[in-house]
A and B are shown apart, each in its own frame.
Chain A
Amino acid sequence: MKHYEVEILDAKTREKLCFLDKVEPQATIAEIKNLFTKTHPQWYPARQSLRLDPKGKSLKDEDILQKLPVGTTATLYFRDLGAQISWVTVFLTEYAGPLFIYLLFYFRVPFLYGHKYDFTSSRHSVVHLACICHSFHYVKRLLETLFVHRFSHGTMPLRNIFKNCTYYWGFAAWMAYYINHPLYTPPTYGAQQVKLALAIFVICQLGNFSIHMALRDLRPAGSKTRKIPYPTKNPFTWLFLLVSCPNYTYEVGSWIGFAIMTQCLPVALFSLVGFTQMTIWAKGKHRSYLKEFRDYPPLRMPIVPFLL
């Protein structure tokens, strides 16, 4: 069996960083990354981007050396992706914040409102309902992160945690401040409005969870396979007939429900910003599906049935 030689060059300076001889032909990129870390311990595998061309796409961890268009001496280019942090860590941190912060405002902890309001309770039932819904939402997200989601990538750049936490924690504090304020004004159409909003919220939360479970079942544990999602026996998944990312559709729906329930402008703004971001993600996902699968259902739109 012929062994390969692998030389790793810096993608920007073309400097020779590492030379590996006697590499197995069936070695994966993941194994090569591990070998590279031995000579440069500060660049752990999650930080490495190896590619065949300095300006090309990153090679995947599962790619096998023998199957790549290289001679027996392969030249790979290395790019440092910067400090990395695991997706699970980021999700847990960014979701635990809003859960905790909202409760601080709900219980009117000192220094948030005037001293005469410390530890008082709102006299509006909708405020208590809103706290239950908001808390439920984030507890659900935390549990899904721990037990449901199967992530394609292990890590993301470290700076993302600061950006993401500022967004989630900032908006949570802003919303919570007004909803739990002593001068809060309940919805104009009273109990009717709250009941309708609660129905929307609950349906969308169930829908969102159903989609997460359906996506999880598409992918066996520990794998990174991608398949076209289809509706299952669960009626909430029938939205897959019309939309590529119904989880995002249901998520926006939940927040619209919450906005109607609380009649609070900051909540509506949060929903709008979230919708914008999720639309960008949905369009990207939709495009990848179309590129990867020839037989992708043509009726589907990225996030809003028939429209967007």
Chain B
Amino acid sequence: MVRFYMEKGTHRGLYKSIQKTLKFFQTFALLEIVHCLIGIVPTSVLVTGVQVSSRIFMVWLVTHSIKPIQNEESVVLFLVSWTVTEITRYSFYTFSLLNHLPYFIKWARYNFFIILYPVGVAGELLTIYAALPYVKKTGMFSIRLPNKYNVSFDYYYFLLITMASYIPLFPQLYFHMLRQRRKVLHGEAVVEKDE
């Protein structure tokens, strides 16, 4: 991403060049839910489920499907946030499994999110907001009446409701991470003092 920016001097076209990689890895994240379900990872299925669903939603149902917004600045915002978060997170997991976890990685995993999480959420929300006019105009992903199954679905209102759902969901996930941080980082400080 950095290389792209330095070469082209603009963020336009960035999405196009990284989209295959992005889609591949974010979709693969579904595996993380499976790991929680079968118990090889101790995290709650619900928390991981919400996290991965929001990624899949952004990648496939927003950025991939709504072409006009692919060059928005807000896309860069969440791409950067996700990228740095994933690099830190997976390094943390890898080193933990190798039983050789440099303190810096642990520190990064439990501190970077404090800035990255809100930045990522802002990027996502701004992107959805930018997409709204196109969705309304084209009526995409929507089912209208009358139809033989007597049901309707309006993607525009669905997006509005999704944006609203960030209000209760984001604080819960954020405070969950803060609580984890206190347990992992400060739990250690207490232990060290005793020794």
Q: Which residues of A contact B (CB under 8 A)?
A: 178-179, 181, 183-185, 188, 262-266
Asked if B9 is at the interface (CB within 8 A of a chain A CB), the reply is no
**Residues of B contacting A265 in the complex (Cβ-Cβ under 8 angstroms):** 149-151
Minimum C-beta distance from B157 to chain A (A) = 14
Nearest Cβ on chain B to A86's Cβ, whole angstroms: 30
Mark B140-155 against chain A: 1 for CB-CB distance below 8 A, else 0: 0000011111111000
Can you report 21 residue pairs joining A to B where beta carbons are below 8 Å apart?
A178-B145, A178-B150, A178-B151, A178-B152, A179-B150, A181-B145, A181-B150, A183-B145, A183-B146, A184-B146, A185-B146, A262-B150, A263-B148, A264-B149, A264-B150, A264-B151, A265-B149, A265-B150, A265-B151, A266-B150, A266-B151
Interface size range on B against A: under 10
What are the 4 A-B residue pairs with the smallest beta carbon separation, nearest first? A265-B151, A183-B146, A264-B150, A183-B145
A1–chain B nearest beta-carbon distance, Å? 53
Contacts of A183 in B (CB 8 A): 145-146
Q: Tell me, in angstroms, the Cα distance from A264 to B150 when the chains sit together.
A: 5
Bound complex: CA A265 to CA B152 (Å): 9
Q: Are A185 and B151 in contact (CB under 8 A)?
A: no
Tell me, rounded to whole Å, the shortest Cβ–Cβ distance linking A184 to chain B: 6
- Measured CB to CB, the nearest residue on chain A to B151 is A265
Q: Which residue of B lies closest to A181 (CB)?
A: B145
CA distance A179 to B152 in the complex (A): 12
- Bound-complex Cα distance A265 to B150 (A): 6
In the complex the two chains form, what is the Cα distance from A264 to B152 in whole Å? 10
CB distance from B122 to the nearest CB of A (A): 31
List chain B residues, Cβ under 8 A from A181.
145, 150
Least CB distance from B145 to A in Å reads: 4
Bound-state CA distance A185–B147 (Å) is 7
Task: Report the bound CA distance from A94 to B151 in whole Å.
Answer: 24
Q: Which B residues lie within 8 Å of A262 (CB)?
A: 150
Nearest B-chain residue to A188, judged by Cβ: B148
Chain B residues, CB < 8 A from A263: 148-150
Please state if B150 and A184 are interface contacts (CB–CB under 8 Å): yes
The smallest beta-carbon distance between A59 and chain B, in angstroms, is 32
Give the distance in Å from the alpha carbon of A179 to the alpha carbon of B146 in the complex. 11
Measured between beta carbons, the chain A residues less than 8 angstroms from B145 are: 178, 181, 183
B154 to chain A, nearest CB (A): 13
Expressed in whole angstroms, the Cα–Cα distance for A178 and B143 within the complex equals 13
Q: What separation, in Å, do the CA atoms of A85 and B103 have in the docked complex?
A: 51
Q: How far is the CB of B95 from chain A (nearest CB, A)?
A: 37
Q: Give bound CA distance, A215 to B150, whole Å.
A: 37
Chain B residues near A264: list those with CB within 8 A.
149-151
